[in-house]
Amino acid sequence: MPRLAWLFLCCPLLLAQEPPSFQIKANYVKVPVSVFDTNGQILSNLTREHFILLDENEPRPIENFLLDKTAIHVVLMLDVSSSLREELEEIQEAALQFAQAFSREDRIAIVSFSDQLELLQDWTNNIKELRKSLKHLERGYRTALYDALISTAHERLTQVPGKKVIIVLTDGLDNESRSNLDDVLSLLIESDISLYIVSRTRLVQPKIEQSERVDFLNQVMKNVLHEEKDFIDLYFREKEISLSHLAEATGGRVFFPEKLEDLKSSYMRVAEELKSQYVLTFRPPASSEKAFRTIEVVCTQDIGRIHHRKQYHWLGSEPSDH
């Protein structure tokens, strides 16, 4: 919505054991799947027969199925734009606790970003090194979220094997990127990268609403357009919808903590989910008019909800071994 973009461009405050293995043909599609019961608890006792996989609404045989305990490469991205203010210490503690939830087979890298991207720690499973790197967090200025995601995917994840994940803590208020949401989504899907977002929008919004300048601009918009909508709230809801779409399409999801103390629990829920996923594989069709195809995974059991990637990049179907 252009008028909302105009409103907020005017405001400087928006400028923060051995894992199981199996052979997969090189061009078979892997689909990580997370399943939860009605109480939000992870279900880890399901079998292949409990799932149906649809590719562009056409059923596909599930070639491989298991509870995925393979090693993970995780990039932890931390938004250090000016909206962080006094929250750095809480973020450092939450990030460290998150890193400790992974096994020795997993590898973690840490980057910070605002208008610039900085590698704080390359791949490691050494908690001491991770703790040391988190002490180097420094507050930045504007936010280039989409650019940071693209750079991180290219530089850290496109060449690593196995399960690849980005977990980003951000306010989601991108005001500096040259890239857009579609650019990011295409790259993540092509690279088989799952994106999880811990969004600070609900922590940031009350502070922004207290600004006299923002309140003034909100009133101006109401008067000019003769509408009683709260344009600040509408702006934030649009941002949350965009973040949710981006994460869920890759098989990840978004968490919206409403107080700083909730950061740790959000991170721990992501860690638990990543270590408790099923992985399904299927063979794509021999031909396709679409470069990006839509998939749906259905669970035949009585469950609460299911999360999986919504698209894949079609590369053909002739099998070849890794």
Instruction: Indicate which CATH number applies to the domain containing 183.
Output: 3.40.50.410
Question: pLDDT tens for residues 238-266?
Answer: 999 999 999 999 999 999 998 878 888 88
For residue 321, is it within any domain?
A: no
For residue 322, is it within any domain?
A: no
pLDDT at 22: 41
Alpha-carbon span 320 to 233, nearest angstrom: 51
Alpha-carbon span 222 to 199, nearest angstrom: 28
Q: Say yes or no: 158 and 305 in one domain.
A: no
Alpha-carbon span 94 to 266, nearest angstrom: 9
Q: Say yes or no: 208 and 243 in one domain.
A: yes
3-state SS assignment for residue 80: coil
For residue 86, is it within any domain?
A: yes
Alpha helices in 135-261 (DSSP H): 145-152, 181-190, 201-209, 212-225, 231-249
pLDDT at 264: 84
- Domain ranges, residue 61: 29-68+276-313
Alpha helices in 22-144 (DSSP H): 88-99, 127-134
CB 119 within 8 A of CB 109: yes
Question: pLDDT tens for residues 10-19?
Answer: 444 443 344 4
Q: Say yes or no: 103 and 240 in one domain.
A: yes
Q: Decide the pairing of beta strands 311-313 and 292-299.
A: antiparallel
> The tokens 């949401």 sit on which residue?
181
pLDDT at 227: 75
Question: pLDDT tens for residues 40-91?
Answer: 999 999 999 999 999 999 999 999 999 988 899 999 999 988 656 567 778 8
pLDDT at 41: 93
Q: Say yes or no: 230 and 297 in one domain.
A: no
Q: Say yes or no: 62 and 84 in one domain.
A: no
Instruction: Report the number of distinct structural domains present in the chain.
Output: 2
Q: Say yes or no: 63 and 198 in one domain.
A: no
Alpha-carbon span 12 to 103, nearest angstrom: 42
Q: Say yes or no: 114 and 143 in one domain.
A: yes
Q: Say yes or no: 60 and 192 in one domain.
A: no
CA geometry: angle 295, 243, 54, nearest 5 deg: 5
Q: Say yes or no: 181 and 109 in one domain.
A: yes
CB 224 within 8 A of CB 281: no
Q: Say yes or no: 166 and 216 in one domain.
A: yes
